[in-house]
Amino acid sequence: MGKLLVVGSVALDTVKTPFGEGADILGGSATYFSTAASFFTSVGLIAVVGEDFPQQHIAFLKSRGIDLTGLERRPGSTFRWKGEYTHQLNEAHTLDTQLNVFETFRPQIPEAYRAPDVLFLGNIHPELQLDVLHKVKRPSLVACDTMNFWINGQREALWKVLEKVDVLIINDGEARALGQDSNLVKVAKLVLSRGPKHLIVKRGEYGVLMFNEKQIFGAPAFPLEDVRDPTGAGDTFAGGFLGYLAATGNRSSEAMRQAIIFGSVMASFTVESFSLDRLRILDYKEIQARFAEFKRLTHFEDVQ
């Protein structure tokens, strides 16, 4: 089983959707990612929280077997995000962002974390992503995320990061902004020419596309009757995807496709409840069952 390291945010979210709301609930990209990945492999987490961060959330992360050696607790308040979704659940409307201790976050890499098998650079400043890459022994697989704020404001620094990563995982809006083109196939061609071997484009309720030199692979989102909160779905997808690859050590085309489906499965559970509440009660048998359902959903025979 491979060691997986994630660098990102741990936050307290206030979220409102047409199906309910939650105040100061557990959130953050590294939280969703590490929780999803922990169903497959051992995970180390690097992030920062304030002195107001509830101990019960620390206890939950530890209960998932996540190594919190790299989680700093600093004087001040924890990163807070407030957002609202309309019935168009694909995009959150940000109402308030308070970076707090996250604003001066400089990832410290504990000695035990310096040789991970797989590294995920969450959505932080590209220069910090580069700094982390310089501080660890080159993992067998490096993936990263970013957002429009960095794409528009730190484009050159971001391209320097992308030259050094194997997998870029972003949503369709971010992909179009990065490639400066509305056509995702053309965007993929550009991105793959600049470093990453794989581009994974998350498309919310429309599923996911994976591009590399050998193939384009598409998977639908799992059809759900009950979607309550889409927050963290993309990070959970990345956690399932990389958690599976870290666990198997396999990088074949078949393994990448399986990993896409495991990522999609984890995201489908996350959106069924607020915060990480669905993942708190999830067991691996449910993951396996939904993976099998996914296979049936997408399987068809050749024409004779």
Tokens 């807070």 -> residue: 80
Which residues of the chain fall below pLDDT 70?
A: 1-2
Residue type, 139: P
Give me the phi and psi of 251, to 5 degrees please: -120, 20
Residue 304 lies in a domain: no
Q: What is the pLDDT of residue 91?
A: 78
Please tell me whether residue 178 adopts helix, strand or coil conformation. helix
Residue 38 lies in a domain: yes
Question: Could you please report the per-residue DSSP string of 30-92?
Answer: HHHHHHHHTTTSEEEEEEEEETTS-HHHHHHHHHTT-EEEEEEEESSPPPEEEEE--S-TTS-
Q: Which residues contact 137 (CB under 8 A, 6 or more apart)?
A: 114, 115
Residue 121 lies in a domain: yes
Residue 303 lies in a domain: no
Count of domains observed in the chain:
1
Q: How many whole angstroms separate alpha carbon 259 and alpha carbon 238?
A: 9
Q: How many whole angstroms separate alpha carbon 6 and alpha carbon 116?
A: 10
Q: What is the pLDDT of residue 2?
A: 65
Tokens 């309550």 -> residue: 228
C-alpha distances in Å from residue 90, one per residue of 10, 87, 197, 226, 275: 22, 9, 27, 15, 16
Q: Are 64 and 276 in contact (CB under 8 A)?
A: no
Query: What is the domain range of residue 283?
Result: 3-298
Q: Are 49 and 80 in contact (CB under 8 A)?
A: no
Q: What is the pLDDT of residue 88?
A: 77
Q: What is the pLDDT of residue 126?
A: 96
**29-37 helix and 253-270 helix, angle to the nearest 10 degrees:** 120
Q: How many whole angstroms separate alpha carbon 259 and alpha carbon 188?
A: 19
CATH of the domain at 208: 3.40.1190.20
DSSP state of 29: H
Q: What is the pLDDT of residue 1?
A: 54
- Per-residue pLDDT tens for 138-185? 999 999 999 999 999 999 999 999 999 999 999 999 999 999 999 999
Q: How many whole angstroms separate alpha carbon 285 and alpha carbon 5?
A: 25
Tokens of 155: 């484009």
Tokens 């910090």 -> residue: 128
Residue 192 lies in a domain: yes
